[in-house]
Amino acid sequence: MRRTDRLFELIQILRDGRLHRASEMAERLEVSVRTIWRDMATLMASGLPVEGERGVGYILRAPITLPPMILTPPEMEALRLGVRLVAEGADPGLARAARGLAAKIAAVVPAPATPEPDDLFVYSADETQRAAPHLPVLRQAIRARQRLAITYIDPQGAETHRDIRPLQLEFWGRVWTLAAFCEARGDFRSFRVDRIVAITETGETYPDEPGRRLEDYRARIAAELTPADAPETRNSDPAGS
């Protein structure tokens, strides 16, 4: 068995989320325990959430692998476009992850008989680049439910300071917006990320309060939009006022 195939088989064994001893996996794959030790070290160094040590066993802490699947040509095209959009987007962390994903896809997808033209291009607008430095901080704050203090330039050019509860990032082709609950206004607001001048992390988390949650924001938007409304009708120039 080739080493790449063996590593794949080890991931399949670990996918059940149970603790597996090296001796057990070595017997199953018909290799030495020392080989399993080396392979597990490789998997752990690659960034997989595998925990364990020699003499104890190994366990996969998060279900991050996908089952084998067959993609149709249109599905593969959609995957290519999605990865390219993220890889050439503004968020540096997600861009690195997308490039890593593209390499993994290329490693398992058979090469076409004739090279395909590189017909996908993603244009990165000035607004997107200005938003880039703020995106990792905002994503982390959304995950951690952390209150932020921002300095923001409104559409009239005035500088304002807001304490907000960040809820969701939205991308509109060239403009990133942040859906948030504004403490000063006591209501939801949509801020253009490229107009944010500075972000201060307060270190404070905000509570899960009815009327101020992401699902409340989405319900508000759904109620306001009519079938004829396009996204740009609502957020062509989000003021965040």
* Range among 16-20, 26-30, 59-63, 104-108 with highest mean pLDDT value: 26-30
Query: DSSP letter string over 32-83?
Result: -HHHHHHHHHHHHHTT--EEEETTTEEEE-S----------HHHHHHHHHHH
Amino acid at 26: A
Angle at 207 between CA 201 and CA 213, to 5 degrees: 95
Can you give the three-state secondary structure of 150-207, one letter per residue?
EEEECCCCCEEEEEEEEEEEEECCCCEEEEEEECCCCEEEEEEHHHEEEEEEEEEECC
Output the CA–CA distances (angstroms, integers) from residue 131 to 122, 128, 216, in the order listed: 16, 5, 25
Angle at 210 between CA 209 and CA 215, to 5 degrees: 110
Instruction: Say what the pLDDT of residue 120 is.
Output: 52
Q: Which of 23-27, 31-35, 170-174 has the lowest mean pLDDT?
A: 170-174
- Tell which residue, 165, 237, 173, has the closest CA to residue 207: 165
Tens digit of each residue's pLDDT (9 = 90 or more) over 86-101: 777 667 777 788 888 8
Task: Based on DSSP, count helices (H) and strands (E) in the chain, helices before strands.
Answer: 9, 7
Amino acid at 55: G
Amino acid at 63: P
Where do we find the tokens 């994903």? 101
Instruction: Say what the pLDDT of residue 65 is.
Output: 57
Instruction: Say what the pLDDT of residue 111 is.
Output: 58
Tens digit of each residue's pLDDT (9 = 90 or more) over 68-77: 666 777 787 7
Tens digit of each residue's pLDDT (9 = 90 or more) over 193-231: 999 999 999 999 999 999 999 999 999 888 887 555 444
Range 117-128 average pLDDT: 62
Q: Is the pLDDT of residue 238 over 60?
A: no
Instruction: Say what the pLDDT of residue 69 is.
Output: 67
16: its two tokens: 């059940």
